[in-house]
Each structure stands twice: as structure tokens, then as C-alpha cells.
Chains A and B, each alone.
Chain A
Amino acid sequence: AQSVTQLDSQVPVFEEAPVELRCNYSSSVSVYLFWYVQYPNQGLQLLLKYLSGSTLVKGINGFEAEFNKSQTSFHLRKPSVHISDTAEYFCAVSSIKAAGNKLTFGGGTRVLVKP
């Protein structure tokens, strides 16, 4: 079984400032890692994912994340946020070998970008 912890439930940040959203996971097996964004009353959109290879992953909208196996972390960063980045962000994992590759989500981090 896996679990995902997003350490910050809410992150206020000023426009054009950097932001980091923290994600730690627990799993006894190798996992794939994902970050999704959800705008109000909408489904989830994939920002980026780590399957294998380089531990620094670049995604859409200027986001990037770094996989740290020793710390079991997959923190999401953006060097300069925009008002439009205000949304809920979810970190998720799936077991590489688990049947169906079900996703386990963290509790979410609400990012509020202030002008």
C-alpha cells in the first residue's frame, strides 16, 4: 500500500514570487509519481510525472518537480507564479506493478496567488 502526504494544505504566495509545494510518499515498492492541478469545479489536469530517468522533471506552465528517492519526496516548484496559478494541486503515486495502477492521492494543497 502507498500513502501520500502533502505537508501544506494551503499556500498563499504573491504574484511573481516562487512557490514550492511539498509532497512525501510512503511505499514498499517502486512507484510512479504525478502532480495534478485542479481548477474550481473542474477535473484534474496533469502537470508532470516521473516514471524513470532524470530525477528533475519539467512539466507544463513552467512547473518542475524533483524526485528524491532517499527522502521519498517529489516536491513541486515554480520560479514565478501568476494569478492564474491559483488552484488546488494534488500529488499522487501509483505502484509500478500494482494491478490497474491505481492512483493514491495526497490531501491537496490550495495555492492562492495574491496580486
Chain B
Amino acid sequence: GAVVSQHPSRVICKSGTSVKIECRSLDFQATTMFWYRQFPKQSLMLMATSNEGSKATYEQGVEKDKFLINHASLTLSTLTVTSAHPEDSSFYICSARLFGRTGGALGYEQYFGPGTRLTVT
């Protein structure tokens, strides 16, 4: 259970075009999803928190107009990279938050998608 998918897994686009990445929770509903960015050999940096039915909350330094997030349903969040440039090339990973009891304790846990490799030429 608690599977998260991302589509596409890999995308190459030309500079100036826009790219949409989908994140789906396949077997649970997620009111909150997160989008991360990971540069080669580096850690994950949180970009934004996506909330179903409301505006996303962006981390400091992340351009809202460049990285558009839409969380239109309880199982789908999308990240659109607008007017992409080579510096936007990165590995984008989403996660979906689930609250439940695990190992005798209640708490939130994030389930991660497999990631999307974006290359802007």
C-alpha cells in the first residue's frame, strides 16, 4: 500500500517551453503533497507544499510563477515548469502525506514517487 507514481519518469524539452509533471497517490487520498528538487549528488530541497483545493505554499527562494503547482484532487498534484531553462534541469521528486498508525504510534509519513528527470536543452 501507499504507492505514489510520477509521470513522466524522464523528459527532455527545449529552452523556453513548459513541462508538466504529475504526481499521483495510487491507493490512498492525500490532502497534502510535497515537491522536492534534487541536484546531482545532493540532498533533496523542498520546493513547495501542495494542498488539495487551495494554493500551494512555496519555500523561500522558489519562484511561484515559474513552478506552478495544482492540487485539483485528493490523488493528483501537478508541477508545471514554465519557460524552462537549462538551469531548471534537475531531478524532481514528489511525496504524498499519509496520517496513520504505524508501529504503535500515530503520525504523518511521506511516501515518495520515483522521481522525474528533467533535461532542458
Binding site for B on A (CB under 8 A): 32, 36, 41-46, 49, 51-53, 57, 90, 94, 96, 100-108, 110
Please give, as numbers and ranges, the residues of chain A lying within 8 Å of B97 by CB-CB distance.
100-101
A51 touches B112 (CB 8 A): no
Per the CB 8 Å criterion, the residue count for chain B at the interface is 30
In angstroms, Cα B32 to Cα A48, docked, is: 21
B115 touches A105 (CB 8 A): no
Report the minimal beta-carbon distance from B41 to chain A, rounded to whole angstroms.
8
Interface residues in B6-64 by Cβ distance below 8 A to A read: 6, 32, 34, 41-44, 46, 49, 57
- With A43-B114, A43-B115, A100-B49 known as contacts, the answer to whether A49 contacts B109 (CB < 8 A) is yes
The contact sample of 26 A-B pairs, CB cut-off 8 A, is A41-B91, A41-B115, A41-B117, A42-B114, A43-B114, A43-B115, A44-B95, A49-B103, A49-B107, A51-B107, A52-B107, A53-B103, A53-B105, A90-B44, A94-B108, A96-B107, A100-B97, A101-B108, A101-B110, A102-B34, A102-B46, A103-B95, A103-B110, A104-B46, A108-B43, A110-B41
